[in-house]
Amino acid sequence: MSRWRDIAAEGLWRNNPGLVQLLGLCPLLAVTSSVVNGLGLGLATTATLVVSGLTVSAVRGLVRPEIRIPVFVLVIACTVTIIELLMSAWLHDLYKVLGIFIPLIVTNCAIMGRAEAFASRNPVPAAVLDGLMMGLGFTGVLVALGALRELAGHGTLLDHAELLLGPLGEGLRLEIIQGYRGFLVAVLPPGAFIGLGLLIALKNVIDTRRGRRSVAVPVHAHGHGSA
């Protein structure tokens, strides 16, 4: 059981694609002007990670080392294209908002990285869990950064939730700060860099705190933040 927990902890925290590996920064910085955009792209990326992890792991005995990279590229590109078509059909407005960043999921290094480093060396269930956890870790960063920027930029949260949830999302918009005039920098690209920097700093502070607390017990090579 500890192995499953380990995979989860890797993706969600210790080796988080957005905060530690710093992979897929282009979409991460570009779409996170609101919670809904971040969540939408995060879920699309998670779906890609799960499907590509599953496929790559399932065919790992079949694929020879010399053609493995083209096969991975093929698997990832097909997965993303299919997800893009599905989003265009069922979440058309969100698809329009996210635009070019959906097809660009193909180029997110986190996906290729997981296929090569994990899925191609592990059995299917582990690969699927790894894809899911890496995806959720990435989604978490997108949502946190989206929330930070939307709150600082517009004073709202979950604006346009109907793009993702349809009629269910109507009225989910939270006006956190009444009569807020807006803070432009947070919405513009610099806000994305500053916000991500703050999130990484926060993670490092938490890791350091935890490390210090456990130092009292056994002295182990601990808390040497890998970021």
- From 13-21, 59-67, 164-172, 212-220, span contacting other proteins (CB under 8 A): 59-67
State yes or no: residue 100 binds other proteins (CB under 8 A).
Answer: no
When the beta carbons of 131 and 191 are compared against other proteins, the nearer one is 191
**Site size for other proteins (CB under 8 A):** 28
Site string for other proteins, 32-51 (x = CB under 8 A): -x------------------
How near is the Cβ of 226 to other proteins at its closest, in Å?
34
Is residue 83 within 8 Å of 41, Cβ to Cβ? no
Beta-bridge partners for 182: none
When the beta carbons of 10 and 116 are compared against other proteins, the nearer one is 116
Tokens 């690209």 belong to which residue? 189
Backbone angles phi and psi of 157, in degrees to 5: -140, 145
Would you give the DSSP letter of residue 166? G
State yes or no: residue 53 binds other proteins (CB under 8 A).
Answer: no
State yes or no: residue 22 binds other proteins (CB under 8 A).
Answer: no
State yes or no: residue 220 binds other proteins (CB under 8 A).
Answer: no
Separation of alpha carbons 186 and 96, rounded Å:
22
State yes or no: residue 74 binds other proteins (CB under 8 A).
Answer: yes
Range 158-217, binding other proteins (CB under 8 A): 182, 184, 187-188
CA distances from 211 to 12, 201, 225 (A): 18, 15, 9
CA distances from 36 to 16, 28, 46, 225 (A): 21, 13, 15, 30
Q: Which of 120, 41, 40, 30 is nearest to 73 (CA)?
A: 120
Sign, CA dihedral 38-39-42-48, equals negative
Separation of alpha carbons 133 and 39, rounded Å:
15
State yes or no: residue 78 binds other proteins (CB under 8 A).
Answer: yes
Q: Which of 82, 177, 201, 215 binds other proteins (CB under 8 A)?
A: 82
Which residues of the shown chain bind other proteins in the complex (CB under 8 A)?
33, 59, 62-64, 66-67, 70-71, 74-75, 77-78, 81-82, 85-86, 88-90, 92-93, 96, 153, 182, 184, 187-188
